[in-house]
Amino acid sequence: MKIFETALPDVLLFEPELHGDSRGFFMETFRASHFADRGIDLNFVQDNQSRSIKNTLRGLHFQRNYPQGKLVRVLAGTIFDVAVDIRENSPTFGSWAGEYLSFENRKQLWIPPGFAHGFYVLSEIADVAYKCTDYYHQHDECSVLWNDPRISVKWPTDGAIPLLSDRDNKAQRLDEIIVSR
């Protein structure tokens, strides 16, 4: 497994080694020692999967009191996956990193606790799976506005209007969320 740093030092890109032949392929998608070697001492407790259609934008989501680390991968399709540092005392607070994840490139993005997460679907359909380091707590969920000018994520929408959930339509700017903590 190759591991690369992104624009944010704590957000890592994993590229599994693919072993294939005429019958198909095999790849290792997770190994605890890769995290331990980098001083990441967290256990995954929940796996999630979503399906979304083209131009869907999910995020930027986080939990206030039960922050989740996420290891994200794409089972079908292509997404632009984004992590935003929302740790108030971090030197990279409000900064973001984005990576293209697809079934074809098989890359995975590690998003540590303390980061908001979102993705934009570029293919007709995308199936996204992610491992989480804490359980989902509905009462604790929050959303940062996907187009918050303070963060200025460069979403590859090519002028399309993203399809948003009601929750994401009602999301707040990062500065508003920090003030309300």
61 is catalytic: yes
From 34, 66, 120, 130, the catalytic residue: 130
Buried residues in 140-159 as b, exposed as e (16+ CB within 10 A): eebbbbbebeebebebeeee
- The residue type at 139: H
From 19, 61, 137, 139, the catalytic residue: 61
* CA proximity to 98, closest of 125, 116, 123: 116
**All residues at 6 or more sequence positions from 88 whose CB lies less than 8 Å from its CB, including other chains:** 178
66 is catalytic: no
Catalytic residues: 61, 130
